């Protein structure tokens, strides 16, 4: 087994960057004081412009595209119309490139709509064309269970710092793992059923015991940009095939 394979690498990625001022604030706090390394930007939300400005002040933050077709129940497009979705998907990618002056470091989607069987090929096409690491279709394993709500019930204990340590120790094995999270603060410019849980996630990500656990267990914190450089763009393309 090579040293590269033996490495335990964790990419801590925050979804919904740009959704609101409160979420943007939480993302930057999680980057500065916590373990966040990457974020997925929604290019068509109230906080997008601010998020872009913040990302320029933090070049160490890898920023990917969080394709938003659904909003929070008020769809951007009809997700059943493949032709319309293809146009919107490529439009959001181009908006990202135009506004940030570069390509995204990775690709995923709000509410994981890229999992829909009729839409997956569209995301694979875009990722393959630009050599992007597409969530669940690349060498980077996706871990999504750090989430504090299911069946309409809040579970703050599941996203505590203690449980975060337990999950990191158990789930970050050899290779590259994306550890998804949703840090942020509640604000009036974004209404979401997942609200106060974001603030709990943020506190956990910034808890010093979490970073201590990573150091003690030899788990590396890297960004998606770091992963792209280590894995190579060819590997990223192969992961989308």
pLDDT (tens digit per residue) in 62-96: 999 999 999 887 899 999 999 999 999 999 999 99
Identify the helix (H) or strand (E) that includes residue 228.
helix 224-231
| Domain extent listing, the chain | 3-239
pLDDT at 241: 47
Q: Enter the pTM of the model.
A: 0.93
Q: Which pLDDT band, with edges at 50, 70 and 90, does 4 fall under?
A: low
Indicate if the pLDDT at residue 200 is higher than 60: yes
3-class secondary structure, 120: helix
Checking phi first, is residue 73 left (phi over 0); if not, alpha (psi -120 to 50) or beta? left
The DSSP bridge pattern shows strands 153-154 and 149-150 to be: antiparallel
> Which CATH number fits the domain 3-239, given the four candidates 3.20.20.370, 3.30.160.20, 3.40.50.300, 3.40.50.720?
3.20.20.370
**Rounded to whole angstroms, how far apart are CA atoms 18 and 46?**
7
- Asked if 7 contacts 175 with a C-beta cutoff of 8 angstroms, the reply is yes
* Strands (DSSP E) found in the chain: 8-17, 38-41, 62-67, 106-109, 133-134, 141-143, 149-150, 153-154, 175-181, 219-221
pLDDT digits (tens, 9 = 90+) for 12-27: 999 999 999 999 999 9
pLDDT at 230 over 70: yes
Give the per-residue pLDDT at 235. 52
Q: 3 vs 48, which has greater pLDDT?
A: 48
Looking only at the bridges linking them, the beta strands covering 149-150 and 141-143 are: unpaired
């Amino acid at each position: 087994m090579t040293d590269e394979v033996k490495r335990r690498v964790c990419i801590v990625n925050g979804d919904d960057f740009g959704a609101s001022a409160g979420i943007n604030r939480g993302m930057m706090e999680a980057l500065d004081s916590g373990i966040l390394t990457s974020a997925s930007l929604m290019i068509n939300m109230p906080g997008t412009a601010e998020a872009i400005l913040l990302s320029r002040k933090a070049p160490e933050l890898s920023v990917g595209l969080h394709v938003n077709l659904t909003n929070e129940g008020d769809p951007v497009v009809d997700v059943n119309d493949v032709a319309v979705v293809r146009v919107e998907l490529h439009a959001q990618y181009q908006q990202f490139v135009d506004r940030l002056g570069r390509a995204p470091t990775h690709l995923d989607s709000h509410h994981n709509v890229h999992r829909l069987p009729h839409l997956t090929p569209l995301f694979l096409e875009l990722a393959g064309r630009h050599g992007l690491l597409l969530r669940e279709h690349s060498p980077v394993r996706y871990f999504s269970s750090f989430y504090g709500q299911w069946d309409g019930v809040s579970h703050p204990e599941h996203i505590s710092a203690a449980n975060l340590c337990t999950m990191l120790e158990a789930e970050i094995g050899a290779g590259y793992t994306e550890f998804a999270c949703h840090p942020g603060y509640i604000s009036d410019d974004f209404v979401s059923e997942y609200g106060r849980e974001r603030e709990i996630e943020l506190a956990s990500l910034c808890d010093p015991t979490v970073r201590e656990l990573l150091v003690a267990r030899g788990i590396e914190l890297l960004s998606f940009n770091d992963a792209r450089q280590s894995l190579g763009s060819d590997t990223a393309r192969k992961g989308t095939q």
